[in-house]
Amino acid sequence: MRQKKTTPYGQLSRRKQRDNFIRLRQKIRNDSSFYGGEFTSDHVLNEPGRPALYNQWADAYFLGSDGLTIWNATIITAAREFWDVVEELAHTRAWDLLTPEEQSAEAEIKFEPIWSNGHRMFRMAERPKLVYEKYSGLSFIEYQDKLAEEIVLNEPPEIFESFETDRSYCYGTGLNMVVHVDEINQATIEESIRRFRQVGESNWRSATPLLRSELPLETQNAAFSRIRLQQSTPDGTAII
């Protein structure tokens, strides 16, 4: 089958871009009771009782100042960016130690048939745990987690606040926003949009990285494990 070619949004005619702009403007107005009138999103924001750690990113759509541009934005916290970089470094280092045969074994996915309500379906088959001498008897995931802990402790990556545009999107112009906030919610999205407009709706990066004290001192897995532990106790306190 011939693959359908997608046209980057910026290559559409001005009429089509304007039509999409007007439709999004109306949707933002319709959704103003949920998102405040500056943007719209598919995410549930400001959910009562939801830990800030679970609100580290969100997608949002908002209007450009030229009457044509739609910004298709992903907003993430600096903490989430830090964790993403750490995980990527750890994954790459662990993966590069494996032979091509070992990499194939790690990447292999098998499915097994099951019956549900009289219908035959498939689920991912559980595979035996693979451990490696080069990992000191650890599995790939365990060794990756170990490397992530070491990177956080000994060589934490520098993180900058930034706005980076991507014009390859087929709906709107892509925008990746890294902002130094505790969580992503309506207020922080609105502030990010305000700052983006203040720099002329263009690429931007802060002149200096965030201080080490402003970034996580533990891995993402450790942070989520702690939150889950707190939530599992009757009074909401952590078990030491």
pTM of this structure? 0.88
Quote the pLDDT of residue 6. Answer: 81
pLDDT tens-place string over residues 23-64: 999 999 999 999 999 999 999 998 999 999 999 999 999 999
Degrees to nearest 5, angle at CA 177 with 91 and 73: 105
| Cα–Cα nearest to 87, from 141, 134, 160 | 141
For 233, phi then psi, to 5°, come to -90, 150
Contacts of 91 by beta carbon, 8 Å cutoff, 6+ apart: 144
| Cα–Cα nearest to 45, from 163, 140, 186 | 186
> Picking from 61-70, 110-119, 171-180, which range would have the lowest pLDDT averaged per residue?
110-119
User: In the chain, where do the E strands start and end?
Assistant: 57-63, 70-77, 111-116, 119-124, 131-132, 138-139, 162-166, 173-179, 204-205
Rounded CA separation 120/160 (Å): 50
User: For residue 110, what are the β-bridge partners?
Assistant: none
How large is the average pLDDT for residues 171-185? Answer: 98
Coil, helix or strand at residue 73: strand
pLDDT tens-place string over residues 128-159: 999 999 999 999 999 999 999 999 999 999 99
DSSP one-letter code for 210: P
Tell the residue number behind the tokens 């405040």, with chain if given.
36
pLDDT above 90: residue 184 = yes
User: For residue 57, what are the β-bridge partners?
Assistant: 76
| Cα–Cα nearest to 186, from 8, 85, 41, 23 | 41
